[in-house]
Amino acid sequence: MKPHAPYGARRGAARPWRAYAAEAAPSWPASLPATLAVANAGARHPLADDGISLELRRRADEIDAAFNLIEPTLRGLAPLQFDAGFVPVAVETVRGRLGLDVPPDMFAAAWTTPLDMRALHARCVLGTFCRLVTRAFDRGLARLSDGEPAADLIRRWGFHALDITPCADGRLSGVVDFILRVPPAIVAFRESHAGAMFDVGESVRHWEQVELRRWRDGVPNQPDAPTRFLKIGVYHFSSVDPGHQGCAAHGSDGVRAAAALLERLEQFAAAVRLTQGDAADAATLLIGVDTDTDAVRVHVPNAAGWMSVDRYVDNLALYGRTQSLAREAAKDAIRAAVADCAGVADDDATTEGMRWLCGYVLKNNIGQIDAVRAWHGGRYDDAGHTERLIVVGDPVDDVQLRNLAFQAQMNTVEEAASDLDVGIRILRGLHEPRGLAVPVLVHFRYDARIPGAQAQAQVRARRLSGAILARHAALAARGLLHVQAVVRAGNGTALADVDPAARPELVAELH
Amino acid sequence: MKPHAPYGARRGAARPWRAYAAEAAPSWPASLPATLAVANAGARHPLADDGISLELRRRADEIDAAFNLIEPTLRGLAPLQFDAGFVPVAVETVRGRLGLDVPPDMFAAAWTTPLDMRALHARCVLGTFCRLVTRAFDRGLARLSDGEPAADLIRRWGFHALDITPCADGRLSGVVDFILRVPPAIVAFRESHAGAMFDVGESVRHWEQVELRRWRDGVPNQPDAPTRFLKIGVYHFSSVDPGHQGCAAHGSDGVRAAAALLERLEQFAAAVRLTQGDAADAATLLIGVDTDTDAVRVHVPNAAGWMSVDRYVDNLALYGRTQSLAREAAKDAIRAAVADCAGVADDDATTEGMRWLCGYVLKNNIGQIDAVRAWHGGRYDDAGHTERLIVVGDPVDDVQLRNLAFQAQMNTVEEAASDLDVGIRILRGLHEPRGLAVPVLVHFRYDARIPGAQAQAQVRARRLSGAILARHAALAARGLLHVQAVVRAGNGTALADVDPAARPELVAELH
């Protein structure tokens, strides 16, 4: 391990630990929803961040509202399908209410062939997700911390890139923006897998890519800077119903989930150390999420860099212990809890950077715990799954929200069959009883500068779509599985249909 | 493009272009096979290299002899299978003649269940291949050129790594050692695909890995050295029967094969240039092989670095034109042909390095053309396929020989189904009429230093084996497909069975 504390001990203490993110966030109108205003009247944690939390709540409401319009809209159209002049009415209704352009022939019903409302519903869900992606929510709410860009700050404390692997479970769909509250600028990679069981070789390739850019371009910093690549693994558990609402990939056993992920993190760190030369190093951090409260457990590494499944800072308890303190005292309490968990003095120089990072995560997450308390009475009403779709292929991070999507990164079903099956099983349980199909978005990114890259991405998207339909052919034949392939020229651009006829076109943005 | 001629024009001319490789090769006994001695009495090319050619011939004979023993050995045992005391006799016979330990119960026949000779044959073919891998042939025959290590020489002429992608076709099984005659020390990557259709992203990752080692470790040279990564694509065609014995993946159309590969090489070069920063650069070279004569076509890049399907040096013609010249005159003729093809003067500084490399390849290949003339009358008797097995997964290069193995690198059948199907179709056509099963070796490498890597490789090997059997289930059910999974801790180590019961154990080396 390299030494990581070139700045002197407790440098963080000299700066106010208040997030300035609210200054960067767009201003919001005075007329907040009544529920917000009422809920916010309760007692707040001194480290709560209303600026970020309110903006996230507004975003959550917008996303929920968009999806919640789909069923009533289509339900209202269904009884009218045999009426004369129905088709233009339906097209206009879907365009006006959902912002989606559905090809008119999808509304052409006959008395022997009524509308395929399942397919229409799935297409509208996928279309709405794609529309929200192009909505371009401001994901940099937490871009500033202590008035300093988060990326600079994190680098100053010893980390030049974050690689986050959460579980594919939809309750972690908001892990970056809501639960950890870290800005995308510092997240070099976010790839989800069932049970967070990432491929070690793929993570080493991430490390290599970041390292090569440092050497070649000095981005994000010079290779001799005393900073490390940090791989964060995020498992989850349920405090309300631990035996049933935990991680499906690990038999709803939180300890098993944590132990398996810790082992994988240790394999990754060893792989970097042993294959990349003497000076090579990668930091790892194990984090657990209680999906009922969004509170994290941070498994703080000890002085030797080792973590343990049993040794962690429980942020829900920490929230309780610090709720009535003054801001500075609350921050001191976090620092003390982290140092205690690491088993070091709170001015230990070797562990300083990692302890700062753990404190940063805990403090950010206190804002989310506080928001869940304010708006959901401390625990979500739905302990379980309510995902609206499955996203596979390359990651999509533009739209974040708890229980929005079961998202599993994969190139092939052959390698990720169990990930896919977990997702299909979960969404089938949610959708089939309501007579709905499981909507699956197959998504691959490409670099538009490279000749042939778009065509190659389309080939991959078609291939993965075909493999999903082949594996779940019976479900698809019954109209209970709907797969749509899209490709995208990098983040910030629209998702383009690989087969344009298969999804309603986007209308000009509603917002 | 970077300038590549820091050493002054025609520096190559000052050095004798005679290969010193024979000095490095092990000496061979006076008692050569009669066929060799007779064949070698004919007229030779001044650039022929008997030292390498004779050693390669000896190796080819050893490999052929090992495989050719299998059928008569098993054929001789078959009629005895119901004899009393057959099992120990069979075990000893296979051990003594083939060097393989077959579990005794595989020889336990009953009058209602005769021996599964197809399975035994396939296992012995796979076992023999694995035994030959551990035989550790000296693959560095061409390690010296002009008395200088080939790696140093190639680096001095502007290239720090070679990435070779041939077609998966078994007639290119000897492409590195026999046809191109380059030592493994300069081949950083050799991965085969049907039609040589490599994945551009995977090749960029190869480039990144090499580049990172240069930056971090100065291996093989410093990153500011004026050298490039060279990607060589190798397609093939048949001069004897162009419409039928060409590349199956491109409809036996040599021009189509060359054009498709050239486009892929251009995409790779563009991807490096456009995604890796301004100073990034990769060289590419398109080479065609006439599988009847092993003669190459080298598509020499012009002054701007561009190649053309129509513009190449035909080495068979060049062999004919230079056969009666003195050594130095023959070398001058090669240099002139390369410069002419590039459309530059033969002292053009910009293209010097690439022209030298093309000349190096042509001169090496003249040795192989000469060997094929000496031993096969200039053209192989078998224009078509006679592959003995299929190798999939990670590459195996230790045993090289024309028509030894159809070898296609893949992680999943899902991505490489067409590669697999081409191979199965070819080998089925060869084996099924003889009542034999198609033997498939699934092989993955792992880094033994990384905890969990061996288990991970075993998982991958089992998964790919399962996917192959699933895709060709009917063939497998009829006993006409035999798949064996092995893993290996890097080159130079033995192949270890993933399922030890499924392949005869190796006996102590016969040689």
Please determine, for residue B78, whether its predicted confidence score (pLDDT) is greater than 90. yes
- Name which of A215, A415, A450 is nearest B267 (Cβ-Cβ): A450
Residues B66-86 have a mean pLDDT of 97
Residues A267-280 have a mean pLDDT of 90
Query: Taking CB atoms and an 8 Å cut-off, how many pairs form between chains A and B?
Result: 96
> A404 and A358 in one domain?
no
| Best residue of A203, A205, A208 to probe chain B, by most B CBs closer than 10 Å | A208
> Token digits for B181?
């005659």
> A155 and A299 in one domain?
yes
Mean pLDDT of chain A: 89
pLDDT at A87: 97
The string of DSSP letters for B415-453 reads HHHHHHHHHHHHHHHHHGGGT-PEEEEEEEE--TTSTTH
- Name which of A270, A415, A452 is nearest B200 (Cβ-Cβ): A452
The answer to whether position B316 is within a domain reads yes
* Contact residues, chain A, for B271 at CB < 8 Å: 447, 450, 453
Query: Looking at CA atoms only, how far is residue B451 from chain A in angstroms?
Result: 6
Query: Looking at CA atoms only, how far is residue B475 from chain A in angstroms?
Result: 20
CB within 8 Å: B453 and A274: no
Q: A387 and chain B: CB distance < 8 Å anywhere?
A: no
pLDDT at B198: 97
Amino acid present at A335:
R
What pLDDT, in 10s, does the model give residues A428-444? 999 999 999 999 999 99
Residues B314-329 have a mean pLDDT of 97
pLDDT at A491: 73
* pLDDT tier, B279 (very low <50, low <70, confident <90, very high otherwise): confident
Residue of chain B whose alpha carbon sits nearest to that of A266: B451
Helices A117-134/A86-98 angle, 10° precision? 30
- Name which of A200, A212, A276 is nearest B452 (Cβ-Cβ): A200
End position of a domain, from candidates A376, A409, A438: A376
Helix residue ranges per DSSP H, B112-149: 117-134
What pLDDT, in 10s, does the model give residues B442-500? 999 999 999 999 999 999 999 999 999 999 999 999 999 999 999 999 877 899 999 85
> A411 and A355 in one domain?
no
The answer to whether position B181 is within a domain reads yes
More confident of the two residues A279 and B348: B348
Tally of structural domains, chain B: 2
The answer to whether position B272 is within a domain reads yes
Full 3-state SS string of A209-226: HHHHHHHHHCCCCCCCCC
Per-residue burial over A243-275, b = 16 or more CB atoms within 10 Å of its CB, e = otherwise: eebbbbbbebebebbbbbbbebbbbbbbbbbeb
pLDDT at A279: 80
End position of a domain, from candidates B328, B348, B376: B376
pLDDT at A42: 56
Residue of chain A whose alpha carbon sits nearest to that of B447: A275
Q: Would you tell me which residues 182-211 of chain A have a C-beta closer than 8 angstroms to some C-beta of chain B? A: 200-201, 205, 208-209, 211
The string of DSSP letters for A115-159 reads --HHHHHHHHHHHHHHHHHHT-----TTSEETTEEHHHHHHHTTE
CB within 8 Å: A212 and B212: yes
Q: B280 and chain A: CB distance < 8 Å anywhere?
A: yes
Query: Looking at CA atoms only, how far is residue A349 from chain B in angstroms?
Result: 27
What pLDDT, in 10s, does the model give residues B201-260? 999 999 999 999 999 999 999 999 999 999 999 999 999 999 999 999 999 999 999 999
Residues B27-54 have a mean pLDDT of 63
* Contact residues, chain B, for A201 at CB < 8 Å: 456
- CB A312 within 8 Å of CB A383: no
- The residue written with tokens 């090992």 in the block is B66
Residues A52-72 have a mean pLDDT of 97
Residue of chain A whose alpha carbon sits nearest to that of B446: A201
What pLDDT, in 10s, does the model give residues A4-49? 333 333 333 333 332 222 222 333 333 344 344 434 445 789 999 9
The answer to whether position B40 is within a domain reads no
Please determine, for residue A105, whether its predicted confidence score (pLDDT) is greater than 70. yes
> B456 and B418 in one domain?
yes
Please determine, for residue A474, whether its predicted confidence score (pLDDT) is greater than 90. yes
* Contact residues, chain A, for B205 at CB < 8 Å: 205
Residues A302-319 have a mean pLDDT of 97
> A411 and A356 in one domain?
no
For chain A, the maximum distance between any two Cα atoms, rounded to a whole number of angstroms, is: 78
pLDDT at B509: 34
Query: Looking at CA atoms only, how far is residue A267 from chain B in angstroms?
Result: 6
CB within 8 Å: B277 and A453: no
CB within 8 Å: A415 and B412: yes
* Contact residues, chain A, for B217 at CB < 8 Å: 277
pLDDT at B503: 40
> A317 and A440 in one domain?
no
What pLDDT, in 10s, does the model give residues B362-401? 999 999 999 999 999 999 999 999 999 999 999 999 999 9
Please determine, for residue A131, whether its predicted confidence score (pLDDT) is greater than 50. yes
Tell me how far apart the alpha carbons of residues B179 and A170 are, in angstroms, rounded to a whole number.
Answer: 54
Tell me how far apart the alpha carbons of residues B264 and B396 are, in angstroms, rounded to a whole number.
Answer: 24
Share of chain A above pLDDT 90, in %: 84
pLDDT at B2: 38
End position of a domain, from candidates A376, A403, A436: A376
Please determine, for residue B32, whether its predicted confidence score (pLDDT) is greater than 80. no
Please determine, for residue B28, whether its predicted confidence score (pLDDT) is greater than 50. no
pLDDT at A22: 29
CB within 8 Å: A216 and B280: yes
pLDDT at B19: 27
What pLDDT, in 10s, does the model give residues A390-406? 999 999 999 999 999 99
- Name which of A275, A277, A412 is nearest B412 (Cβ-Cβ): A412
The answer to whether position A5 is within a domain reads no
Tell me how far apart the alpha carbons of residues A284 and B238 are, in angstroms, rounded to a whole number.
Answer: 54
> A320 and A181 in one domain?
yes
The answer to whether position A443 is within a domain reads yes
Q: B263 and chain A: CB distance < 8 Å anywhere?
A: yes
| pTM of the predicted model as reported, rounded to 2 decimal places | 0.89
Residues B22-29 have a mean pLDDT of 32
- CATH number of the domain where residue B114 is located: 3.30.1330.140
Query: A287 by DSSP, 3-state: which?
Result: strand
Q: A467 and chain B: CB distance < 8 Å anywhere?
A: yes
> B409 and B339 in one domain?
no
Residues A298-309 have a mean pLDDT of 97
| Best residue of B216, B219, B278, B445 to probe chain A, by most A CBs closer than 10 Å | B216
> A387 and A316 in one domain?
no
pLDDT at A493: 87
* pLDDT tier, B42 (very low <50, low <70, confident <90, very high otherwise): low
- CB A159 within 8 Å of CB A230: yes
> A346 and A474 in one domain?
no
Please determine, for residue A507, whether its predicted confidence score (pLDDT) is greater than 60. no
Mean pLDDT of chain B: 89
CB within 8 Å: B414 and A463: yes
The answer to whether position B361 is within a domain reads yes
Domain carrying residue B84: 69-136+385-511
> B18 and B77 in one domain?
no
Residues A306-322 have a mean pLDDT of 98
* pLDDT tier, A146 (very low <50, low <70, confident <90, very high otherwise): confident
> B252 and B215 in one domain?
yes
What pLDDT, in 10s, does the model give residues A325-334? 999 999 999 9
- Name which of A264, A277, A414 is nearest B216 (Cβ-Cβ): A277
| Best residue of A412, A444, A445 to probe chain B, by most B CBs closer than 10 Å | A412
The answer to whether position A171 is within a domain reads yes
User: Which residues of A does the annotation mark as catalytic?
Assistant: 169
* pLDDT tier, B30 (very low <50, low <70, confident <90, very high otherwise): very low
CB within 8 Å: B415 and A412: yes
Containing H/E element for A236?
strand A228-237
What pLDDT, in 10s, does the model give residues A443-468? 999 999 999 999 999 999 999 999 99
